Amino acid sequence: MMRPVVHYTRCPSVPTVTALAQAQGLLQEEFRDEPDVDFEFTSVGFSPKLKYEGADRLWLRNAGHAPAVWKRSLGVACKVVGLAFLEGRYPVLSLHSKGVASPASLKGRRVAIFHNPDSPFDLMVAQQFKIYQTALQSVGLSLEDVEPVYLPRFHPGAVKGSFLLSLFHKGLEALEAGEVDVVAASIPPDSGFYPQLNVVYDTRLAPDRVSRVHPSVLRGLVVSQPLLDERRDLVVRIVERLIEASELAVQAPLEAIRTLASDLGQAPEALAAVYENIPQGVRLELNDDYVASLAAQKEFLLRHRLIEHDFDLESWIDRSILVDATALHRQRQAQNVKV
């Protein structure tokens, strides 16, 4: 009889606490000698898969929240057991020559929407819509006041390690070619293109968390219902190790940034230029602010028909895993002190 396999994946394009725990060897240490189950740890992009049966039924994913919302809206049996909110700079950019210098001047302008026409759900479309909405709402405008221009984008799997840089260059090309007036893309710290660009708005300036949230800011740890039903104990132990990884990152933040930058194929200074307080931002929590941000994003995706079916958010969240993992972590800490 084949041993069951737990498929544990993480996003290859954004910093996650799972990447830290793997780099620190914590997950491997925890499950190296597991007697009756195997683990498969992979860094992989979004999959539109909706049916998880047999050997695929036991899984976890640490990634942006939007694809998980989409899957849950289509009936995939899973639970959110933790959320992480990593603040960052997500500017709206335009060339000086376009005359777009402030959110008020966005009215009537062509805004780039880079998309993947072959994907049933495109998280980058969701992200760009939300960034533009936040900029527009700051001056009383809405997405109806701009003209979206859909442009094909690169396949994210083809540019692992340079996702933000590739998106920036793609946006710059569209601006210079006159295809659009505005793009939503982060400026690499060593790009040398600042003199050409106006930063029309940066979502980091938004006064409240719900305005700042979008798919790349709010990440989740989502677990299949069969894994929770059959081996809840494993999930608790995983989350305990993720708590440990977060605490180690807080104790040595520069090392954490270097580790995540290496995992993403970026320079540490480039990563630090985009994201704020990375050690705290990758930590899993389920506080009221994080859950409210997730609720706001679900409503946003529904309103813009990026998902078709609503569902009850609170029943999708399993708070008990984080509670039990925190208790286990304290117990292990106490045992280590005694030793």
Q: What is the pLDDT of residues 59-78, one digit of tens each?
A: 999 999 999 999 999 999 99
Q: How confident is the model at residue 123 (pLDDT cuts 50, 70, 90)?
A: confident
Q: 């000086």: which residue's tokens?
A: 96
The full set of domain ranges for the chain reads 5-85+218-338, 91-212
Two tokens at 214?
């979008």
pLDDT at position 162 is: 55
Top-confidence residue, 268 or 153: 268
Best CATH choice for the domain 5-85+218-338 from the list 3.30.310.80, 1.20.20.10, 3.40.190.10, 3.30.420.40: 3.40.190.10
Please state whether 108 falls in left (phi above 0), alpha (psi between -120 and 50) or beta.
Answer: left
pLDDT at position 157 is: 47
Chain centroid to Cα 178, Å, comes to 30
Whether the per-residue pLDDT at 206 is higher than 70: the answer is yes
Helices marked H in the chain: 17-23, 26-31, 65-73, 123-137, 163-176, 209-212, 225-251, 253-264, 268-274, 278-281, 288-303, 313-316, 320-338
Whether the per-residue pLDDT at 163 is higher than 90: the answer is no
- pTM value? 0.91
Please list, residue by residue across 27-52, b when 16 or more beta carbons sit within 10 angstroms of its beta carbon and e when fewer do: beebbeeeeeeebebebebbeeeeeb
- Residue 133: closest CA among 122, 145, 120: 145
In CATH, what class is 91-212? Answer: alpha beta
Mean of the per-residue pLDDT values of the chain: 91
Top-confidence residue, 109 or 14: 109
- Residue 240: closest CA among 326, 161, 159, 175: 326
Helix (H) or strand (E) holding 40: strand 38-43
Task: Identify any residues that bridge with 64 across adjacent strands, giving them in sequence order.
Answer: 219
Whether the per-residue pLDDT at 192 is higher than 70: the answer is no
pLDDT at position 196 is: 82
Two tokens at 98?
């376009």
Q: How confident is the model at residue 190 (pLDDT cuts 50, 70, 90)?
A: low
Whether the per-residue pLDDT at 327 is higher than 90: the answer is yes
CB atoms within 10 A of CB 291: 17
User: What is the DSSP code (8-state) at residue 285?
Assistant: B
CA quadruple 189, 191, 195, 197: dihedral sign: negative
Mean pLDDT over residues 226-250, rounded? 97
Determine the Cα–Cα distance for residues 12 and 27; give it in Å rounded to an integer: 18
Q: 């001056």: which residue's tokens?
A: 139
Phi, psi at residue 180, to the nearest 5°?
Answer: -145, 165
Please state whether 305 falls in left (phi above 0), alpha (psi between -120 and 50) or beta.
Answer: left
Let me know the angle formed at the C-alpha of 119 by 314 and 307, rounded to the nearest 5 degrees. Answer: 30
Top-confidence residue, 162 or 13: 13
Fold agreement between 5-85+218-338 and 91-212:
yes
Whether the per-residue pLDDT at 166 is higher than 80: the answer is no
User: What is the DSSP code (8-state) at residue 186?
Assistant: P
The tens digit of pLDDT for each residue in 267-295 reads 898 888 888 889 999 999 999 999 999 99
Determine the Cα–Cα distance for residues 12 and 150; give it in Å rounded to an integer: 24
Q: How confident is the model at residue 13 (pLDDT cuts 50, 70, 90)?
A: confident
Whether the per-residue pLDDT at 160 is higher than 80: the answer is no
Whether the per-residue pLDDT at 165 is higher than 90: the answer is no
